Amino acid sequence: MAKDEKTYRSASWFGLGDRDGFIHRSWMRNQGYPDDLFDGRPVIGICNTFSELTPCNGHFRQIADYVKRGVYEAGGFPLEFPVTSTGETLVRPSAMFLRNLMAMDVEESIRANPIDGVVLLTGCDKTTPGLLMGAASCDLPSIVVPGGPMLSGRFQGTTIGSGTSVWQFSEEVRAGKMSEADFLEAESCMSRSAGHCMTMGTASTMASMCESLGLTLPGAAAIPAVDSRRYKTAWLTGRRIVEMVREDLRLSKILTRTAFENAVRANAAIGGSTNAVIHLMALAGRAEVALSLEDWDEWGREVPTLVNLMPAGRFLMEDFYYAGGLPGVLARLLERNLLRGEAPTVNGRTIGENVAGTRVWNEEVIRPFDKPLLASGGIAVLKGNLAPGGALVKVAAASKNLMKHTGRAVVFSSIEDYKARIDDPALEIDETSVMVLQNCGPKGYPGMAEVGNMALPEKLLKKGVRDMVRISDARMSGTAYGTVVLHVVPEAADGGPLALVRTGDIIELDVEARRLHLDVPEEELQHRRRQWQPPKPSFPGGYQELYIRHVQQADKGCDFDFLRGRRGAGVPKENH
Ligand code: FES
């Protein structure tokens, strides 16, 4: 292959003829790289979130190998590097707490190294936004390979989905309807292959967000992790990133407000996770794109939920892929002028060109517009004296009969308080009550845990109650469901009105009117505010202190205040 005529960023390391160039190349040669790899060709960083502690990304070494094949084939030089990896199931206090650390790691690793373009290997929930945020601040040509979902869970003749079935089963056990032996058996029946959660949880949602933003090759979001087409996509992505470097197709050319509009509408159509709101707000902050909670409400409100996947519906990601995947959904949005077809994508074509005419093969899984799963999908953004900065409810996951509800608050001051009292037979609570959880927001937890979908009291579960209104400053897993009001801004630990709610207060929720109201006179709230003391951080110091000092509220995506914006990938000073 002829040598590239352009000079790339990596030439500031490998292209030097002096002592520094010797040092940069010599130590790399100990890995067996031949001379021509240092001839000025594009160097492609493969940003890998492989970790045995992040089981959803456990197959990423293999995916990286396929990306490398494509990079070599296109005349690039692939170099894989690890970054902080956060899995949802093991990391404490929450993977979200480490998302910004991961984004800092990604940004600084890219900027510090001889990299001209980046392939981002994303899978488990936070690994997608963490990598996108870091890469957006650097603004090199970048492309995403999602790791893909697990195969569908199969248990006792039924299909079961990651997360969603766990919440169902644990409530069945508590209600005395499922044995503990069956509960244990379900563990391995649910997680049958490599890949991330195969419900439309946060991982599947964020992969779909990447595709609808134009950051993956078409169709990449839904391919099962173990399907050979996942590996073919990785290979083709390796080829494409080299071309993107030659074309100087940077992230900022893809991540426009139009792309975010498409992603917000796609999120409504797939019945995506509320976590997407936080992550896309953070990404927009990095990409310097104006995006507000009101945009989410406005863009998503007219879009029906077409995708019939758990937790809102019946099917799983494997079914979704076979039915046509995200291109099938985007094509339907395009036909209805609900997709801005002119948005550019990483393959050099517009998103409209990529998806136009894609057929849907199973209309139960991807519903037509005249038979949607839900007429109005999307995320409802609530405002009122209880959430002056906004709060969210995922309409697709909520119960219709609770969308307008007035009830008596039962307040838990922390998740520990909730756990200690929820099953106390003396707790005064019934199905009309509104469960309120405080101090689980970005600063309060810290890290904004996924505890907003508090399990109902055992005594009500045994009566057959399956949903109640729940309000908190926390998040909830994308695999969860229920009439759950989340992301209340400002959070309780930051002095938001949520901190002032007391058991017995009356709360009004009206999703149609987008209203969340605490029916307590203003003078009484002022009185309570004077008595309020901010909670003390439980173990200040280290990263935790940095986090609490700098994390922004949910409406800003919980990014650190000092990380917003693009800082580019200027070449840092030499160190020897
Ligand atoms: Fe990793 Fe759900 S736990 S995607």
Q: Can you read off the two tokens belonging to residue 568? A: 């580019």
Which of 47-51, 388-392, 393-397 is the least confident region? 393-397
pLDDT single digits (tens) 171-192: 889 888 999 999 999 999 999 9
Please name the residues in contact with 403: beta carbons below 8 A apart, sequence gap of 6 or more. Answer: 395, 483, 509, 510, 511, 512
Distance (Å, rounded) from C-alpha 113 to C-alpha 68? Answer: 18
Distance (Å, rounded) from C-alpha 192 to C-alpha 153? Answer: 6
Determine the residue of 162, 166, 450, 477 to mutate for testing ligand 1's pocket, defined as the one with the most ligand atoms within 8 A of the Cβ atom.
Answer: 162
In this prediction, residues 97-114 reach a mean pLDDT of: 98
| Ligand 1 nearest-atom number relative to CA 163 | 2
pLDDT at residue number 575? 75
Cβ of 480 below 6 Å from ligand 1: no
Dihedral angle, C-alpha 200, 204, 209, 215, nearest 10 °: -160
Peptide bond into 55 cis (omega under 30): no
The yes-or-no verdict on residue 364 having pLDDT over 90 is yes
Distance (Å, rounded) from C-alpha 240 to C-alpha 250? Answer: 13
| Atom 3 (ligand 1) nearest CA | 88
pLDDT at residue number 1? 58
Q: How far is the CA of 548 from the centre of ligand 1 (A)?
A: 25
Distance (Å, rounded) from C-alpha 427 to C-alpha 402? Answer: 22
Give whichever of 115-129, 388-402, 448-462, 474-488 has the largest mean pLDDT.
Answer: 115-129
Phi, psi angle pair for 43, to nearest 5°: -95, 125
Determine the residue of 92, 124, 198 to mutate for testing ligand 1's pocket, defined as the one with the most ligand atoms within 8 A of the Cβ atom.
Answer: 124
Predicted TM-score (pTM) of the model is: 0.96
Q: How far is the CA of 450 from the centre of ligand 1 (A)?
A: 12
Q: Can you read off the two tokens belonging to residue 77? A: 């030089």
| Ligand 1 nearest-atom number relative to CA 477 | 2
Q: How far is the CA of 89 from the centre of ligand 1 (A)?
A: 7
The secondary element (H helix, E strand) that includes residue 460 is: helix 458-462
Distance (Å, rounded) from C-alpha 529 to C-alpha 522? Answer: 10
Burial class (CB in 10 A: 0-12, 13-18, 19+), 17: exposed
Q: How far is the CA of 575 from the centre of ligand 1 (A)?
A: 39
Proportion of the chain in helix, strand, coil states, percent, rounded to 5? 40, 15, 45
Cβ of 56 below 6 Å from ligand 1: yes
pLDDT at residue number 5? 85
Peptide bond into 93 cis (omega under 30): yes
**Structural domains of the chain ordered from first start:** 42-151+193-355 (3.40.50.2300), 379-538 (3.50.30.80)
In this prediction, residues 93-101 reach a mean pLDDT of: 95
